[in-house]
Amino acid sequence: MNVRLAYGRTGLEVELPDDALLIEPSDPPACADPHADFRAAVRAPIGAPPLRELIGSHERVVVVTSDVTRATPNHLLIPWILDELGHVPSEQITVLVGTGSHRATTPEEMTAMFGAQTLARVRVIDHDAHDDAQQTYLGETSLGARAYLNAEYVAADKRICVGFIEPHPYAGFSGGPKGIMPGVAGIETVKFFHNARMVGDPGSTWLGLEGNPIQAMAREVAALAPPDFLVNVTLDREKRITAFFCGDYLEAHAHGTTFCKRHAAQPVPHRFDVVVGTNGGYPLDQNLYQCIKGLSAAAAIVKPGGTIVMCAELSDGLPEHGNFKDILRARSTPQALLEMIEAPEYSVYDQWGAQTQAQVLVHARVAFRSSLPPETIRGAMLEPVDDVAAAVRAALAAAGPQSRCAVMPLGPYVIPYVADAAFA
């Protein structure tokens, strides 16, 4: 059968075995009139006053939203929020891009994300986790993390958090408090959030909120300077809005994660010898660091010692910025890499991505189709491939005559699980 895989901006057509199991989300219908649905959601929100009544004309407002690695439809949501706050002078509103520990947004990306009209209308700036002068210390968490959040966010009279809800490999789901922690947290706090113990905890996994230490820390840090209003959406495979979850940042998020799980979690009957995966195409497949999501999702249903054939464009490289590439190259085997990262004294920014990739590689072989040179892929402990169909045929032949294949065209936008697995 011919399958179109989400790959970069254009997709990738691949011929795969007819008996391969196709794993896709059961998309709810897209909103027929998303602008009208937005207005209805912010004027009759969940657990909070209507947005325009919540914020006075004299107040300073910070709107936190996702960075370029996320598919949040900022070009729609931010202008709609500004229209709803028409009684607030634009010079009192700042849009803060929650980069977490990611790189800064380029001018071209800013325009693509928000539109030139919005950039001319209101101040839009990046959070910089690495700039200590931007952070305010708010205290220590129950696990001993020193909590730093963006000073301008903390000082605002009213705070709005914008994002979209999808399954997340550590926090269970994105959205809600995760827009604040790690979105606008200082680098020391971000590193604790992703330390080896937190990332390696069995509770830090897809689709689970309760008993999840990473979700718990996101909630605890966000509560130190909580958003006054949440605007979260869910999206379909075409990145169209399917629902709005607006209001109290915890209550609205809980409604959203229930909705998302109903459509994004898919049971499968057993593990597979070969799993073809993606990272959902652009913007999520810009670099290998982000691809730990797709790799982790595929690893949930591949047999131990099986093969993941991963397809991601990697237009932003491994990336070249940050420490991720250097951590991957610090050891020659996945097991040695895990042992280095899990050592009590080890603490390096970006280690969490390398830890997750190493966990996947200890479990399964990974063949990787990308736009990067083969030597770059090999340097990341992966096997470069050009012909995906041929790689799948070879892996199935090596596994034997009864081998089976599963395909995840949209990568981590749908999370498969073996029917008797923990997060069923």
Query: 319: cis peptide before it, omega within 30°?
Result: yes
pLDDT > 70: percent of the chain: 99
Give yes or no: residues 141 and 211 share one domain: yes
Active site residue 168: yes
Q: What is the CA radius of gyration of the chain?
A: 21
Catalytic residue chosen out of the listed positions 102, 127, 194, 255: 102
Q: What is the pLDDT of residue 422?
A: 46
Last residue within a domain, chosen from 230, 263, 296? 263
Give the residue-averaged pLDDT of 235-253: 96
Is the pLDDT at 387 greater than 80, yes or no? Answer: yes
Tell me how far apart the alpha carbons of residues 381 and 271 are, in angstroms, rounded to a whole number: 23
Does 26 fall in a domain? Answer: no
pLDDT > 90: percent of the chain: 91
Confidence of residue 27 (pLDDT cuts 50, 70, 90): confident
Give yes or no: residues 15 and 45 share one domain: no
Tell me how far apart the alpha carbons of residues 346 and 152 are, in angstroms, rounded to a whole number: 31
Give the residue-averaged pLDDT of 32-47: 98
Task: Check: CB of residue 163 under 8 Å from CB of residue 72.
Answer: yes
Print burial letters for 195-231: b (CB count within 10 Å at least 16), e (below 16). bbebbeeebbbbbbbeebbbbbbbbbbbbbbbbbbbb
- Count other C-beta atoms under 10 Å from residue 393's C-beta: 16
Does 186 fall in a domain? Answer: yes
Does 424 fall in a domain? Answer: no
Q: What is the pLDDT of residue 420?
A: 64
Give yes or no: residues 98 and 55 share one domain: yes
Is the pLDDT at 423 greater than 50, yes or no? Answer: no
Among residues 219, 226, 217, the alpha carbon closest in space to that of 142 is found at: 217
Task: Check: CB of residue 213 under 8 Å from CB of residue 204.
Answer: yes
Does 27 fall in a domain? Answer: no
Q: pLDDT digit string (tens) for 106-138?
A: 999 999 999 999 999 999 999 999 999 999 999
* Packed helices 107-114 and 74-84: angle between N→C axes, nearest 10 degrees: 60
Instruction: Give the bridge partners for 191, in sequence order.
Output: none
Tell me how far apart the alpha carbons of residues 62 and 136 are, in angstroms, rounded to a whole number: 15
Q: pLDDT digit string (tens) for 291-338?
A: 999 999 999 999 999 999 999 999 999 998 889 999 999 999 999 999
Give yes or no: residues 215 and 327 share one domain: no
Does 195 fall in a domain? Answer: yes
DSSP assignment of 379-419, as one string?
A: TTT-EE-S-HHHHHHHHHHHH-TT--EEE-TTGGGSEEEET
Structural domain boundaries enclosing 400 = 2-20+271-418
Give yes or no: residues 58 and 158 share one domain: yes
Active site residue 35: no
Give yes or no: residues 214 and 277 share one domain: no
Q: pLDDT digit string (tens) for 340-364?
A: 999 988 988 889 999 999 999 999 9
Q: What is the pLDDT of residue 424?
A: 36
Q: Locate all alpha helices (DSSP H) within 204-318, ordered by sequence.
A: 213-222, 251-264, 292-299
Q: What is the pLDDT of residue 102?
A: 87
Please indicate whether residue 78 or residue 103 has the higher confidence score (pLDDT).
78
Domain count, the chain: 2
For residue 410, CA distances in Å to 24, 232, 244, 347 come to 7, 21, 22, 33
Does 88 fall in a domain? Answer: yes
Give the residue-averaged pLDDT of 270-278: 98
Last residue within a domain, chosen from 221, 244, 263? 263
Give yes or no: residues 196 and 68 share one domain: yes
Does 369 fall in a domain? Answer: yes
CATH number of the CATH domain containing 132: 3.40.50.11440
Please indicate whether residue 249 or residue 349 has the higher confidence score (pLDDT).
249
Give yes or no: residues 244 and 209 share one domain: yes
Q: pLDDT digit string (tens) for 164-203?
A: 999 999 999 999 999 999 999 999 999 999 999 999 999 9
Q: pLDDT digit string (tens) for 51-90?
A: 999 999 999 999 999 998 888 999 999 999 999 999 999 9
Does 161 fall in a domain? Answer: yes
Give the residue-averaged pLDDT of 267-288: 96
Instruction: Give the bridge partners for 93, in sequence order.
Output: 61
Q: What is the pLDDT of residue 375?
A: 97
Q: What is the pLDDT of residue 136?
A: 98
Give yes or no: residues 278 and 250 share one domain: no
Give yes or no: residues 213 and 347 share one domain: no
Q: What is the pLDDT of residue 321?
A: 82
Residue 234 CB-density burial (10 A; 0-12 exposed, 13-18 middle, 19+ buried): buried
CATH number of the CATH domain containing 385: 3.90.226.30
What single letter denotes the amino acid at residue 191?
A: K
Q: Locate all alpha helices (DSSP H) within 176-291, ordered by sequence.
A: 187-193, 196-200, 213-222, 251-264
Sheet containing 272-278, strands listed edge to edge, beginning at the edge strand earlier in sequence: 21-22, 405-407, 272-278, 302-311, 365-369, 383-384
Q: Locate all alpha helices (DSSP H) within 194-291, ordered by sequence.
A: 196-200, 213-222, 251-264
Task: Check: CB of residue 155 under 8 Å from CB of residue 126.
Answer: no
Print burial letters for 275-288: b (CB count within 10 Å at least 16), e (below 16). bbbbbbbbbbbbbb
Is the pLDDT at 219 greater than 80, yes or no? Answer: yes
Give yes or no: residues 145 and 251 share one domain: yes
Global pTM reads 0.85
Catalytic residue chosen out of the listed positions 35, 127, 168, 194: 168
Last residue within a domain, chosen from 233, 263, 293? 263
Give yes or no: residues 6 and 72 share one domain: no
